[in-house]
Amino acid sequence: MKRKTIQTKIIILFFLINLMVASCSSIEGATLSAPQSLDLTNDRALTRTANTNVATNTNTPETILTSTSTPIPPQITRTQTPTPTSTWVYNEPGNVNVPILLYHHIEDNPTASRYSVSITDFHSQMKALYDSGYKTIPISLFLDALLKGADLPEKAVVITFDDGHQSVYDNAFPIMQAFGFTGVAYVVANRINDIPDFLNIATLKEMIAAGWEVGSHSYTHIDLTVNHQRVSQEIAYSKIDLEKALSIKVQTFAYPFGLMDSYLAQKVSQYGYRAGMGLGTRKTHTVSNLFYLDRIEIYGDLSLDDFRQIFIDY
């Protein structure tokens, strides 16, 4: 009887032990599964955050590259700005050592006269000036320096064009803009109202807005040395009409054909011009030749080497 009771107790105890083991295994499985689920959730959250950061970091360099490359101008824009290292020096009144160049036509015309400079040659000449450090100045600043003193670029040049041909706007104007240069157009007053092949009011105003100056080249381009009776019309009224049409102050007069006498010089001064423009080779100008300033004519057959020779001793 006792033996059966002991066996029964052993069986019950064994059963209880198995039951406890099974319960512990169930609890242990539940405990392990919860952290695994939480870890996966955290991993996905970290993955999303990491991907967001990667996308941001990837986009940032693209933005930087774009903003860096945008302000870099094309080649022609860079050359449109004058040399920033140009040195300006005060010029005492009384004389100015600045070459004044004179052009007429800038065009490719094989039958043209010596007054026509080809577009290619003109570009080469402007590039030679630019590469040598020259800066153009308006004739008004030239006269300020001559008459009362003013700061001028260390290497200054005045570039003028007579007769007001359309080729000056079509060909010379854009080339000079590319090098940061400006010029002075001497126009005939009766040719500015839409006369074929000559600069009109609209184009002249555009050039003026870009820094160019305009002077008078008479009213009808006649030889005034043999037409003194026409002086009032040719010198005085050309100035009046140009100023009214272009809303500017016309300061200088270019003698037709470069011909001048003392009577004409007196009238140019009397009618309110600051100076008269003639022909010559001098690069040093004084108040004594104020009403016949030398301008160096540039002909179509001038070689680039000969062009450079003009500035050798400057």
> For residue 129, how many other CB atoms are within 10 A of its CB?
23
| Residue 22 buriedness (CB in 10 A; 0-12 / 13-18 / 19+) | exposed
Cα–Cα nearest to 128, from 76, 81, 175: 175
- Can you give the pTM of this predicted structure? 0.74
Q: Over pLDDT 70: what percentage of the chain?
A: 72
Lowest mean pLDDT across 6-10, 260-264, 294-298: 6-10
Report how far Cα 29 is from the mean position of its chain's Cα atoms.
79
- How confident is the model at residue 7, as a pLDDT? 52
The model's confidence at residue 50, banded by pLDDT at 50, 70 and 90, is very low
Q: Does position 312 have pLDDT exceeding 50, yes or no?
A: yes
Report how far Cα 6 is from the mean position of its chain's Cα atoms.
114
Q: What angle in degrees, to the nearest 10, is found between the helix axes of 201-209 and 238-246?
A: 70
Encoding tokens for residue 88?
Answer: 């300006």
- How confident is the model at residue 162, as a pLDDT? 98
Mean pLDDT of 78-94: 71
Lowest mean pLDDT across 8-22, 141-155, 259-273, 282-296: 8-22
User: What class is the 83-309 domain?
Assistant: alpha beta
Q: Does position 34 have pLDDT exceeding 70, yes or no?
A: no
Q: What is the pLDDT of residues 182-217, one digit of tens each?
A: 999 999 999 999 999 999 999 999 999 999 999 999
Identify the sign of the CA torsion 50, 52, 58, 64: negative
The model's confidence at residue 112, banded by pLDDT at 50, 70 and 90, is confident
Query: How far is Cα 149 from Cα 152, in angstroms, rounded to an integer?
Result: 9
Q: What is the pLDDT of residues 122-146, one digit of tens each?
A: 999 999 999 999 999 999 999 999 9
Q: Does position 110 have pLDDT exceeding 80, yes or no?
A: no
- Are the beta carbons of 292 and 265 closer than 8 angstroms? yes
| Residue 163 buriedness (CB in 10 A; 0-12 / 13-18 / 19+) | buried
- Could you state, in order of their start, the residue ranges of all structural domains in the chain? 1-72, 83-309
* Angle, CA of 287, 288 and 290, to the nearest 5°: 60
The model's confidence at residue 35, banded by pLDDT at 50, 70 and 90, is very low
Q: How far apart are the first and last CA of the chain?
A: 141
- How confident is the model at residue 109, as a pLDDT? 84
* Angle, CA of 303, 102 and 95, to the nearest 5°: 110
Q: Does position 61 have pLDDT exceeding 60, yes or no?
A: no
Mean pLDDT across the chain: 81
Q: What is the pLDDT of residues 156-191, one digit of tens each?
A: 999 999 999 999 999 999 999 999 999 999 999 999
Q: Does position 62 have pLDDT exceeding 50, yes or no?
A: no
Give the amino acid at 79.
T
The model's confidence at residue 314, banded by pLDDT at 50, 70 and 90, is low
